[in-house]
Structure formats: C-alpha cells, structure tokens
Amino acid sequence: MGLKNKKYENPGTFKIDPAKAAEYAKILRAVSKVKVAVVGDIVADEYITGSCERISREAPVLILRHEDSRVTPGGAGNAAANVAAIGARVYSIGVLGREREAAGVIGFFKKNRVESRYTVKSASYETCVKTRIMSGSLHTTLQQVIRIDRGGEKPVGDADARKLLDGFEKIVGTVDSVLISDYNCGLFGDYFCERLQRILKKEYSKRHIFVVVDSRHRLFDFKDAYVATPNESEAREASGIRISDRKSLIACGRALLEKTGDRSMLITRGSEGMAFFDEKGALHEIPITRRDEIADVTGAGDTVAAVLVSTLPLARKNPVLSVELANIASGVKVMKRGTAQVSVNEITREIERIENFQK
C-alpha cells in the first residue's frame, strides 16, 4: 500500500461530486423505510442554565440566576432520538428508573417519534443523570460551568434485563439494523451480553442484519457485528496500538477487525476525520467537513452511530456512502451545544453547503 513510517497527515478536504450527491439524496429519501432497534444505556442529560450575576461573598464562586431547565435523552437515548430525527423508525430498548429526569426522557421520546414500549421502567434501577450547569450573558455564548453525574453505577438486575431482552427478541426479526450503545451505565453485564449475543447469532443465521457497535470498553463482547465505531482512544485501548502514522493506523484497524470478527471497522479521530476499514480490510480516510465553528462535540458519536445504523441497509453495495453521511451529520452536530439531534433536512442543507463551497 506504499506505507511510509512518518507522522500522520490529514487526508485533506471533504469533497462531494454531483454523482455522489445524487447517491446521498437517494439514500436520504428512502431512510423513512428503515426500521432500527437501539439497545443500550439510556442517559438523562439535564441542562440548567442561568445568567451570572456576581461573585458570592461567602466563597469565591459564581452566583447564577436560574433561567431554564430541560431534560433530553443522552447515551443510547440520544442515539435513538437521532435515528428518529433523520426519519427512520426506531425502537428504544433500554432501562430507566422512576425519577423525574427519567420521565423527562420518556416525554421526549413520545414527542419525537421514538417508540419506547420496550423501554423498561424499573423501580430498582437508578437512571444515569448528567446535570450540566450552563452560564452566559447577553453578549456571550453559554458555557458549561460544571457537570454533576449521578446514578448508572449499579448493574441492571437480571429480572429487568430479562424483560428488556424478551422485548428485543419480539421485534429483532422485524428491524433492518441494530445499534448497540454501551455507555458503561450498568446494562451490559455478563448475563445481558451473553443472551444478547445469542439472540443476534440466531438472527444472523436467518438473514443479513446490520449491527453497529458503539461501546466504550467492551468491543470484544459483541463479536461478528457489521461495524464497530470506537474513537481513537478506545481503539488504542482495545488493540494495544497507538496511532501515530498511517502504518500504525492500518495496524490498529486490522487488529480490531481480527479480534472482534466484525466485518468492518470505523475509527473516529476527531480533527483527523474518520478511518473506515471495509469488508476487505481496505482503508478509506474521510476528512471532517468543518474545521471551524465547532461549538460542542458532546453526543457527536451518537450522531455518527445513528446515521450509520439508519443508512447502512440502503448503502449495502457501497457502505462508504453511509460513513460519509455520518461524517456530514457529525459536522452539523458539533455546531450545536449540548446533546442534540440532526435532522435529514439539516444533512441535506450541509451537503448543499459543501457543494457550493467547492464552486
């Protein structure tokens, strides 16, 4: 492959030719026909915003005047919401507690076309809640002052896990693709992973189904998926290979393919773009679409995984198209603050922006 052991160079500028734009449009028009199951750790992202009034006389801390509070789905919940936002039909398969924040997540699902009938509401589980305190003034943008995390430390009980998996088993035969979204919040214990793998293996024996794995620390517990989406640090942890040049990038990707048994591998690399290893092990390097205007990368990985799982069934002959659409959607997401969704219309406008920029 003409590899050189030198410092990695950015693959360049993301470009779209008319033929590719037509392929993107064809996929996006058909995405409403796709059915997706998102299995994973549902997080409640709480945002409390306030304006900074003064410094406290009691301690050297800011005093904020409360302006707004809202709860939005995070983790697997955000991934499911992103699937719905681009127009696919989605089932949320996860566990929530009975807290006010959990109710806020369910309310969001109902308003935004996320099917939650198979989301287990458990009296014994404490929802993982991430509370972000945001502040700004009339002439400044909101900034995160502090984040407070609670819940998500205790494992989901076997009874709740069994109920959730029973629900998943009912609908897995009806979906085109499955996203496994592991945020290390208690769902993916040994029992859950083992039975989930059995259900998927049974489905693999019947037909081709696209399974996307987005897992922080347990890539090897979900073998034989279509694609996994580790970021660079997760890829290093799983492979033991630090990416420093193109040679090590290829070694890392191929090591992950061998260890997981997955058909392909997508390593997200922040400002260095994406590295996609296809079913033949060939590397496709995809530059990011925006190098400025980046406001917040929170949830960008959810957006990438959601677009992949929604579009791969429509791009099966050329999965690079699906990866590129995920890359474009990620470029839209990072311009938004906090956990957010990217709509099919926003992706379409971003494609048009990139085309016009090239002229």
Which positions are catalytic?
Answer: 302
The SS3 call for residue 325 is helix
- Cα gap 148→101, rounded to integer Å: 14
Hey, which bits of 83-209 come out as E strands? 89-93, 95-96, 114-115, 120-121, 128-136, 143-150, 177-182
- All residues at 6 or more sequence positions from 301 whose CB lies less than 8 Å from its CB, including other chains: 214, 229, 231, 268
Q: Phi first, then psi: what are they for 114, rounded to 5°?
A: -100, 120
Closest CA to 73 of 62, 86, 64, 82: 82
- Cα gap 211→176, rounded to integer Å: 9
- Which region holds residue 356: left if phi is over 0, alpha if psi is between -120 and 50, else beta? alpha
Rounding to the nearest 10 degrees, give the CA dihedral for residues 310, 313, 316, 319: 10
Name residue, tokens 């990416």: 243
DSSP tally for the chain: helices H, then strands E: 10, 15
Query: Contact 157/122 with Cβ under 8 angstroms?
Result: yes
Give the Cβ contact number of residue 312 at 10 Å.
26
Closest CA to 355 of 71, 6, 13, 74: 13
Return the percent helix, strand and coil in the chain, to nearest 5.
Answer: 40, 25, 35
- All residues at 6 or more sequence positions from 28 whose CB lies less than 8 Å from its CB, including other chains: 86, 87, 311, 325, 344, 347, 348
